[in-house]
Amino acid sequence: MSVFKRAILCALLVFIVGGTSFNAEAAGQRIVVKLNTASPIGPVLNLLNATVLDVISDSNLYLLQVSQLPSLGTLTLNLLGIEYIEVDTTLSGPTLRTLGLVQSKSAADWYRLQPALTRIRAVQASKYYDGYGVVVADINSAVDYGHPALQGHLTGGYDFVTAQGSTYAALNQSSGSFMDQSSGSFLDQSSGSFLDQASGSFLDQSSGSFLDGAPLLNIVTASNPAYGHGTLCAGLIAAVAPRAMIMPLRVFDDNGQADIFTITKAIRYAVKNQVNVLNMSFGISTNSRSVREAVAAAIAANIVVTGSAGNANTSTPQYPASYSSVLSVAATDMNDKKGSFSNYGSSVSVSAPGVNIISAYPGGYYAVVSGTSFAAPIVAGEAALVRSKQVTGITDAMVRGTVNIDAQNPQYVGKLGEGRIDVVSGIGK
């Protein structure tokens, strides 16, 4: 950079008062900087007195640590070659709780026959298409690779938390909802009962013995806020799409925290590794441009993207589920009624079971949980089945194959997507 141009930039930093500006007041702030193609990072580091923490080279995205950042006007940003700057927001939230644990049965995938998955005809659909040749990436917390229900279902993933090291994990601010859990009541326990038994017999099947020999243990609240969430979501993908391969991408640490840049990096990783389906069972309240662009890149790469609509019982859009072309998933119960916690609204694409869902839990157990976090991977599993049948038109096929549930939800007509998924209809059978 010439001496003359540097002088202009310094003057602009001091005197500019008009135009679009970005300002980070807190010392030690982490920011995400997107540079235009071929723009050097050096002048930015010099003028902002910044340090590079991480980079996504093929996206020209940099994670910087700054001690203090002055307001930058539009002209200054242009001269520096900066496309945009945003705060690297940290996501955090309450502890994941489970209703209870179920002891292992002889068949590791026995929970595939649970009423919720039977209702959407998941097992029946897998007799036609089972997800063979499809890779489903799941951005989540750590996964129990040794769980019997996941054996043969996992492919190589990536642990971004371990890779980035302890110093990288310094927190800035909390503005999100970890793993899509509402702070009020994560589990949808109507009337305070152990299981939300809409008909008085939630676990009944035709044989009346769905859980015979599998006694429920005590309620567990793990000290690790993220504990179990990744395993639970992976278990549901495996249950719906038994021959698909699941790529675990860990972005949430043991404190249940992640940040915008790491999430962006994981999405870009999934695109680079040519996955077919991407599930995101978490919520961000900030409309992050770097995350939004990464999701758009995934959509452009013909990746089916699913996301949890949120558990705040509100119509306020949650990101990344509400981004364009993402299958935003609301949660329903066994009677096709909206889960009391589930978000709703025009941004929702489809609904899926998300109340009292059984899935794999670390240590060889199975847990009963509720949340749109668990409805989303069920839809991701359906996407894998449809993808094993056809290369294009997957989302449209899934939406067309839904069951209308307006009669069961008169207060939410047009606000729970096109309806509750039916996997057999979704694959066109």
pLDDT band, residue 285 (cuts 50/70/90): confident
Taking the alpha carbons of 362, 368, 373, 377 in that order, is the dihedral positive or negative?
A: positive
Nearest partner of 177 among 341, 310, 31, judged by Cα: 310
- The pLDDT tens digits for 107-159 are 999 999 999 999 999 999 999 999 999 999 999 999 999 999 999 999 999 99
* Token pair belonging to 118: 């039977």
The structure's pTM equals: 0.86
CB 100 within 8 A of CB 363: no
Q: In what order do the strands lie in the sheet with 277-280?
A: 158-159, 245-250, 135-140, 277-280, 304-308, 327-332, 350-353
Q: What is the pLDDT of residue 173?
A: 37
Q: For residue 310, give Cα distances in angstroms to 130, 328, 348, 353.
A: 28, 9, 10, 14
Q: Report d(CA 228, CA 95) in Å as an integer.
A: 11
- With b for 16 or more beta-carbon neighbours within 10 A and e for fewer, the 368-401 pattern comes to bbbbbbbbbbbbbbbbbbbbbbeeeebbebbbeb
Cα-trace Rg, the chain: 23
Q: Report d(CA 289, CA 379) in Å as an integer.
A: 25
Residues in contact with 183: Cβ distance below 8 Å, sequence separation at least 6, in sequence order: 93, 94, 177
Q: What is the pLDDT of residue 220?
A: 54
Residue found by looking up tokens 């057999």 in the block: 424
Q: Report d(CA 19, CA 267) in Å as an integer.
A: 32
Please state, rounded to an integer, the average pLDDT across all residues of the chain.
Answer: 83
Question: Is 100-426 a domain of CATH 3.40.50.200?
Answer: yes
- The average pLDDT across 84-95 equals 76
Which CATH fold topology does 3-88 show? Answer: Alpha-Beta Plaits (3.30.70)
Q: What is the pLDDT of residue 99?
A: 65
- The pLDDT tens digits for 358-388 are 999 998 999 988 999 999 999 999 999 999 9
pLDDT above 90 coverage of the chain, percent: 65
Q: How crowded is residue 2: how many other Cβ atoms within 10 Å of its Cβ?
A: 7
Report domain extents, the chain: 3-88, 100-426
